[in-house]
Amino acid sequence: MDSTAIAEHIPRLRRYARALAGDSHRADDLVQDTLERALSKFHLWRHGSDLRAWMFSIMHNVFINQLKARRELALDEATEAALESPPQSDPLQLRDLDAALRRLPAEQREVLLLVGLEQLSYLEASQALDVPVGTVMSRLSRGRERLRALMSDANLSDASSATNLKVVK
């Protein structure tokens, strides 16, 4: 076994990072830090265990550290509630899924992406995030509901801006 195996996971790590971090520069920062850490800790990886899940767990730790550094992490329900109604709510910016994802608390976004985008099992997601499966489920539930709400708001604002355009014409 050699570490070129890690290389095979780069495209999928990049996909996840892009969805998680938003812009491609920050996403590749995340991938780069993750790869560096994975390579330096490769001897800690248990042979036979799922390398992909291990890489995701490393990325999770890197991501959390980066968020802490930027003080963006929703640590508890209180900060989460604050995020729910952002101070400068601009529905016009909320046009697409990517923008809606940015409005989710990081912990919900992670679960939603690991399960929905990367198709990890709930157990794998719980291992990658180092939380119980029950926590994965509750974050998934809240994340999906919030995403649904955000997207329907976005559709409404799209519809209203389209109407406005017509009026202006």
Partner 1 sequence: MSNINENDLHAYADGQLDDARRVLVEAHLAHDPAAAELVRVWREQNEALRALYNPVLNEPLPQRLLALRAQRRRWPYYALAAGTMCLGFALGWMTQAYRTDPFIEAAALPRRAAIAYAVYAPEVRHPVEVGADQQDHLVKWLSKRLGSELKAPVLTQQGFDLVGGRLLPGGKGPVAQFMYQDAKGQRITLYVSHRDAEPRDTAFRFSQEDKVGVFYWIDGKLGYALSGEMARANLLAVASVVYRQLNP
Q: Which helix (H) or strand (E) holds 142?
A: helix 133-168
Measured CA to CA, the distance from residue 65 to residue 56 in angstroms comes to 14
Decide if residue 2 touches partner 1 (CB under 8 A).
yes
For the chain, how far is it from start to end, CA to CA, in angstroms? 65
Decide if residue 117 touches partner 1 (CB under 8 A).
yes
Residues 56-95 that bind partner 1 (CB under 8 A): none
Decide if residue 112 touches partner 1 (CB under 8 A).
yes
* SS3 assignment, position 6: helix
Decide if residue 121 touches partner 1 (CB under 8 A).
yes
Stretch that binds partner 1, among 44-52, 80-88, 108-116, 154-162 (CB under 8 A): 108-116
Decide if residue 137 touches partner 1 (CB under 8 A).
yes
Stretch that binds partner 1, among 67-75, 76-84, 143-151, 155-163 (CB under 8 A): 143-151
- Residue count of the chain: 169
Residue 107, Cβ density class (10 Å: 0-12 exposed, 13-18 middle, ≥19 buried): buried
Decide if residue 23 touches partner 1 (CB under 8 A).
no
Decide if residue 98 touches partner 1 (CB under 8 A).
yes
Torsion sign, CA atoms 125, 127, 129, 132: positive
Contact 59, 46 (CB under 8 A): no
Residues that bind partner 1 (CB under 8 A): 1-5, 7-8, 10-12, 14-16, 18-19, 28, 31-32, 35-36, 39-40, 42-43, 96-98, 112-113, 115-117, 119, 121-122, 137, 140-141, 144, 147-148, 151
